[in-house]
Structure 1
Amino acid sequence: MPKRALSGIAVMAAVALLTAACGTTTNNPATTAKIAKGNLKGVKFAFAMPTSQGQVYVAQQKTFTTQAQALGAKVTVYDNHGDADTMLRNADLMVAARPDVIVEYPSVANATDRVGQKFKTAGIPCIAINVPVKGCSFFNFDQVALAKLGAQAMAKKMAARGWDGTNTTVLIGQASQLGSSVNIAVTSFYDELSRIVPNMKHVSSSAITSTTTQITADQGYQGDLGLTADSGYTATLHSLQSMPQKRNLVVYTVSDDTTQGVLRAADTQGRTAKTLLSGYGGTLQGLNAVREGGVWATDQNGFFPQWGEFLLAMSVAIAQGVEPPALTSPPQVVLTKENVDTYYKPGTEELIKMPALPKASRYLLDTGILQKFGNVEGAE
């Protein structure tokens, strides 16, 4: 549970906490005190996105920048280009620029310790997105919880078509470069789906490793589908060669961009009539596809493009002396044809309102930042 610093030494506690977060002295104690009061005017953020090749990441970066600027902050954006070398170079560039806060979205998991050490040595407070970075506070989906909700929604879609373990093959698509903190969603989806769909052999998440390809004969496969439409297309075409064409097909990915490629691959193979897809991210293409109620049946949504306001609130909370939980998560919901227009204006990606924050994340409400945007239930 979050712990607050004593009010009488709020500024000292804020400085001490930010020191602990990155292991050394803070960049600017005066700025820390300013942030602690919720004043972001003139505060400098460095924002490292994983790649500009995915529209979901571009949308998230643009929203963060827009929302930060609306509060008077300045944002410099760095593109990690999907590889470790660029990620490390960008870490050096960000440290040299001396921002007040670094927001790091790693492009790969295997460089995070080195990046975290750079931030720690520099003493710059940092927040990691989606993939943990040692020494940084962590913001991400509650992957396991959202994946289970996704499996339950997909099971209903399958039941409506008369699909079960006797006639359906499930392909789960990991993105290996993002490591276990993301791909736990993939294996958790299969765990829950195989538990609740009739005639499917249940396989637990822990039994599916990063190198597993065939989970069970005919019923379950795992592929590395990546994070882009091109990788999704190529890898799905390859995976389909192992799957009986007479069986129905369910595919789960960790990115709407990937799902676009999977859809193209299924169409190329003439399999769309017997395919259900589950996306992840809430892009306009994904939202509109879900609205159609066809092949793209569900979409896991943690309101990914809107994460900016939560990251800004998290920066203020840390400066106020709040110790964040191990995981701070956004509001989460699985979108279907039946509920998509509850959250987005029909035919658009324009947000109406997000549901309430998970319990562990509600400390963000106390910063007053979310109320400035008024788009989260309970933060009007």
Structure 2
Amino acid sequence: MLANKTTKRLYLIPILSKALDVMELLQAERAPMSLEAVFQRTRFSKTSVYRILQTLLHRGYVARSGDGLYRLVSLPLKLRFGFASQSSEMPFSQAVTQSLQAAAAASGVDLMILDNRYDAATALKNAEQFVQSRIDLVIEFQVEQQVAPVIADRIAAAGIPLIAIDIPHPHAIYFGVNNYRVGYDAGSLLAQYATDHWRGQVDWVLGLDIEEAGPLVQSRITGAFEGVRSILDAIPVESFVRIDGRGMHEKSYRLVLDFLKRHPRDKRILVAAATDTSALGALQAVEELKRGKQVVIVGQDCIPEAVEEMRKPGSPIIGSVSHEVNEYGPRIIEIGLGLLRGRSVPPYNYVVHRLVTSESLRA
């Protein structure tokens, strides 16, 4: 009777006990075992055995050979990944950081986070700090293309694998959206609006670009212009104008305000913004000049502020392309673990994007 009371007070976790039993079995056997063999020896449910083995495999405690056999490996040191965020003040960057933090915690990875502050010099200092800290893998999210080779070279010289988010870096695995395609979808939405509301008549097509990010990110605006042309092929080439909003609110606001003041009589203007932050800057200019019925805007990233704006009836922001930021953390951590474990990883890894419109939000 005393033994039973003692057992009840142990507060055991059944699934953890089963996982330890599986590990002890693999250790005792000193030879690879199949899923079926582990099931037969433990008599746990086959579903439980499979989930335990998959979890141990994901965390690096067991390895699986090509013929599906499992073996216990030496317990790994906890991996340390370094993440240089684009800017703690940018909503999309904040969302990427949160996604990575959650995925790293779930995978047992320590994540060292530094803030690039949307600044090239800071990004370079952060890269050097990662090298000095002997990080196992670096995840780089910075906007300046010109400093990308310098950062990548410092990290490669230290023998550290590198994953670059949205901006390609030499020696790095790329993770992010297909920039041309997300731009094309945004442009197509703008053109369809002009077709439905302005009988296909357009005075200007503005592209709020990010010149410092380089050609790949700039292809968002290239794609947007092609998306417009795919539906409205009669718009003259001189009506397409690219201006460098840097993806930032204040600069985009000032540039669009100046443009609208210089064209007070034009009443059909399409705006494709490289980011939602830039789109919100354009919106401020449009509202300040009371030209909300003459301008429509589509952004990128689908940040909460843009979604809230799209819900307002008659808002000039009619859409945004969601980059599905919740996928970033799990997929990047998975890629990083694969690299460190010697798996083959594609050089370009694209997120599946989704067009969100004011109409779809009301549906």
Native 8 Å contact 1:80 1:107 kept in 2: no
5+ residue gaps in structure 2? 1-31, 33-57, 65-74
Who is 1:375 aligned against? Answer: none
Please state how far the C-alpha of 1:41 moved relative to its aligned partner.
8.4
Who is 1:260 aligned against? Answer: 280
Please state how far the C-alpha of 1:86 moved relative to its aligned partner.
0.9
Query: What SS does structure 1 have at the residue aligned with 2:230?
Result: helix
How far, CA to CA, are the matches of 1:129 and 1:144 in structure 2?
A: 16
Please state how far the C-alpha of 1:224 moved relative to its aligned partner.
0.6
Q: Does 1:196 align with 2:196?
A: no
Match for 1:110 among 146, 157, 167? 146
Change (3 A) 1:273 1:109: same
How far, CA to CA, are the matches of 1:64 and 1:301 in structure 2?
A: 17
How far, CA to CA, are the matches of 2:269 and 2:126 in structure 1?
A: 41
**Percent identity of paired positions between Structure 1 and Structure 2:** 19
Change (3 A) 1:167 1:84: closer
Any residues of structure 2 matched to 1:275-354 within 5 Å, and which?
275-292=295-312, 294-304=315-325, 306-340=327-361
- Letter in structure 1 aligned against 2:119: D
How far, CA to CA, are the matches of 2:231 and 2:116 in structure 1?
A: 39
Please state how far the C-alpha of 1:159 moved relative to its aligned partner.
1.6
Native 8 Å contact 2:59 2:108 kept in 1: no
- Letter in structure 1 aligned against 2:121: D
User: How many residue pairs align between the two structures?
Assistant: 296
Who is 2:112 aligned against? Answer: 76
Any residues of structure 2 matched to 1:1-380 within 5 Å, and which?
34=60, 42-164=78-200, 166-197=201-232, 199-201=234-236, 216=238, 219-292=239-312, 294-304=315-325, 306-340=327-361
Native 8 Å contact 1:109 1:178 kept in 2: yes
- Letter in structure 2 aligned against 1:286: A
Change (3 A) 1:36 1:295: farther
Native 8 Å contact 1:50 1:107 kept in 2: yes
Q: Deviations over 1:48-96 (max 9, x none)?
A: 0122221111121122112211322211111112222111111100111
Query: What SS does structure 1 have at the residue aligned with 2:351?
Result: coil
Q: Deviations over 1:123-178 (max 9, x none)?
A: 111100111111111112111122222222222222221242x4431110101121
Please state how far the C-alpha of 1:243 moved relative to its aligned partner.
3.1
How far, CA to CA, are the matches of 2:269 and 2:173 in structure 1?
A: 38
Change (3 A) 1:94 1:316: same
- Letter in structure 2 aligned against 1:80: N
- Letter in structure 1 aligned against 2:316: V
Please state how far the C-alpha of 1:247 moved relative to its aligned partner.
2.3
Native 8 Å contact 1:36 1:317 kept in 2: no
User: Which structure has more RCO (C-alpha within 8 Å, separation ≥ 6)?
Assistant: 1
How far, CA to CA, are the matches of 2:96 and 2:76 in structure 1?
A: 19
- Letter in structure 2 aligned against 1:323: S
Indicate the larger mover: 250-259 or 59-68. 59-68
Native 8 Å contact 1:63 1:308 kept in 2: yes
- Letter in structure 1 aligned against 2:248: T
Please state how far the C-alpha of 1:35 moved relative to its aligned partner.
9.1
How far, CA to CA, are the matches of 1:36 and 1:77 in structure 2?
A: 28
Please state how far the C-alpha of 1:340 moved relative to its aligned partner.
4.2
Please state how far the C-alpha of 1:181 moved relative to its aligned partner.
1.4
Q: Deviations over 1:1-46 (max 9, x none)?
A: xxxxxxx9xxxxxxxxxxxxxxxxxxxxxxx993996999832111
Please state how far the C-alpha of 1:102 moved relative to its aligned partner.
0.6
Q: CA RMSD in A?
A: 2.6
Indicate the larger mover: 234-243 or 33-42. 33-42
Please state how far the C-alpha of 1:183 moved relative to its aligned partner.
0.7
Change (3 A) 1:336 1:225: same
Please state how far the C-alpha of 1:292 moved relative to its aligned partner.
3.3
Native 8 Å contact 1:51 1:107 kept in 2: no
Question: Which structure's CA Rg is the greater one?
Answer: 2
Q: Deviations over 1:186-215 (max 9, x none)?
A: 1121122123215313x5xxxxxxxxxxxx
Who is 1:12 aligned against? Answer: none
Change (3 A) 1:306 1:289: farther
- Letter in structure 2 aligned against 1:310: R
How far, CA to CA, are the matches of 1:123 and 1:284 in structure 2?
A: 38
5+ residue gaps in structure 1? 1-7, 9-31, 204-215, 343-380
Indicate the larger mover: 287-296 or 173-182. 287-296
TM-score scaled by length of structure 1: 0.72
Query: What SS does structure 1 have at the residue aligned with 2:293?
Result: helix
Query: What SS does structure 1 have at the residue aligned with 2:89?
Result: coil
TM-score scaled by length of structure 2: 0.75
